[in-house]
Chains A and B, each alone.
Chain A
């Protein structure tokens, strides 16, 4: 492997290369942000959906569930739960969680959501299910 190998050239290549690829990444990110409106159904984000996102966050649902495949792997994917069980099914499930859980089985805590919060979280999950995620998940089970 004979040949010159200097630290100064290695440093120049480092600065040149990383700045170059960072700019490329920014360029693609800019294009993505520009192209997103056609895919993320932002026009359907109502105040109720925004409220639902807040309920989603303040109950730390991501601590057990995945949303669009990202989060914890302890409980089912919720990106498509509204298509799996329907809005009423989701609401019924949330409200019917036993306070002390189910003996020996994983169970969701009883969050005692108000009627408004229940509407909001369901609206949020419904909105998420309409986002164009390149046909992910592979099937209804998520």
Chain B
């Protein structure tokens, strides 16, 4: 069976995740509160989630039904959170 190496090695994916996590933290710690923080931080969550799903969970090679369900879940939840946040804006 041909090997299924992911295009990126786990190391490069890991580095991206660490950097984006740091950005999320600093944005929250020092960045301005409000709409842009939320949208920015959740966009990063989308990126990180997709990386983990596609590379670590190897959904890149998986049948589309599984890839769609996990990525679909990620997008729906994040969009739901953003939607709820905007609705709750004072």
Contacts and interface: CB of A to CB of B under 8 A. Distances in A.
A and B touch in the complex (CB under 8 A): yes
Nearest to B65: A1
A9 to B, nearest CB: 16
B88 interface: no
Interface of B is mostly: loop
Contacts of B63: 1-3
Interface in A1-23: 1-3
Interface residues of B, number: 3
Contacts of A1: 63, 65
Contacts of B62: 3
Interface residues of A, number: 3
Nearest to A2: B63
A3 B63 CA distance: 9
B64 to A, nearest CB: 10
B16 to A, nearest CB: 27
Interface in B24-67: 62-63, 65
Contacts of A2: 63
Contacts of A3: 62-63
Nearest to B62: A3
B53 to A, nearest CB: 16
A91 B56 CA distance: 69
Interface string A53-83: 0000000000000000000000000000000
A2 B4 CA distance: 15
A89 to B, nearest CB: 45
A2 B61 CA distance: 11
A4 B65 CA distance: 15
A50 B16 CA distance: 64
5 contacts: A1-B63, A1-B65, A2-B63, A3-B62, A3-B63
Interface of A: 1-3
Interface of B: 62-63, 65
